Each structure stands twice: as structure tokens, then as C-alpha cells.
Structure 1
């Protein structure tokens, strides 16, 4: 059994440090991503809540998929901000694509604050069944 003590100050410090580190390494704004590999394709989902779809840009160049988006601050004359935790500005994320993916057929859609990018797997990279030779047929030479 492992016994530890919980220090709320240390937990909060680590949480804030992690948040700042993610922001620093992503150009100032965080764009969380999930990725799944299926038999036919790879699907990437990027969280972009509150982003105008017209500000989203998805490009592919020499095997690198780049996603960028911009969230603008909305200030009104009658408002005085007392908390500002939502990241604003430009979000950018780059993903290196495998040569087994078909970058010519990438599709993207933005729904409910989530950008979904679908990248098909090339036919030669898809799983396939290999025929097994049986006795009586020509044997393979190793």
C-alpha cells in the first residue's frame, strides 16, 4: 500500500504549470486533439469551441497536416471584464502524416465546436487476408 498526502497548493500549481506549458508550446493557445485509427481511415478531432468556422484553415503540405483557427475577443462598451480564462487568439496544430495515408482525399467538417478531419488509408496499407498454401501445393522456399 502506498500512502501519500495531498497538498492542494501543489496540485493547483501543477495544474497551472501544465496549462501554461501547453499554451507556450502551442503558440499561445491550446487546441486539444483526439485521434483514432480505423481500418479504412484515420480520424482526428480538434476542440475549437466558440471559433468562427470561417477562421478555420486546414492545409496539407509534404506530409504535414496543419490546422489553424482564430477566436476573437468580444468586448462591449457596457462590460467590465473581471475574469479572463478562455484562451483567445490563433490556435495552431501540426500533425505529421504517415505515407500510408491518402493526403489527396482528406475531408474536414466543423460541428458543435469540434473540427473532424478524416484521412483515408491507402489501399496498400489496409489489412488483408493472406492465403495459406496447403499440402499438395508447391511449398515455399525459405
Structure 2
């Protein structure tokens, strides 16, 4: 399973990518929403996007709206991972089409819980 991590912070992309890789995802990264759209157009089989809200060029909310406007991406799971913690912001993101919302700082366990709830954890290989 492929996951796209979208954040303007290289450090945050590496942290989230590391958690996802440990869960069995193949990860791709983008520094803003526009770059993420370009990655999605060139890569197939992206099943999960983890999206920051505040980024240059194209912010996370605009990215979510762009993805939801495209029929070929309707099955992609979108999870916001951001410092935006106001209730109104959370409501806006979910109304735009995000499936889940995680506020920074977070623990790896919080990502696992959200992904488990969404049913998008990769299948574990038999021991």
C-alpha cells in the first residue's frame, strides 16, 4: 500500500513516513498540495494521504477539495495531521472530505489508532 505524506516540514514528513513505513506502507512525500497533486497524477495505487494544513503554494484544505473533485481519487483515504486545533477548522476539513483529523504533536500510536479505525492498515505478514 502506498501513502503520500504532504507537509512543508521535511522533518515532519520524515517522522510521519517513518511511522507509516513501520506499519508496512510504501511512502511518497510532497512539500505542498500542488506538489502532492503532481505526485498523485504520476503514481498509481496511493491509498492514503496524510496532509498538513498550513503549507505554501497550496494548503491542505484546498488539496483535500481538489482530491475530492476528482472521481479517480474518490477512494483515497485522507487524514489531516496538523497544528490547527480549532473546532471550526476540524469541521471544515471533515466537511471538505477528510476522513480523519490528528492534531500535532501526536504519538505513533495515535496514527495507528486512526488508521485502524479507518480500516487502512496494511495486512500483517504471517510470522
Structure whose residues are more often strand by fraction = 1
- State the TM bucket, normalised to the shorter chain: under 0.3
The TM-score with structure 2 as length reference comes to: 0.24
The TM-score with structure 1 as length reference comes to: 0.22
Structure whose residues are more often helix by fraction = 2
Find the structure with the greater CA-based Rg: 1
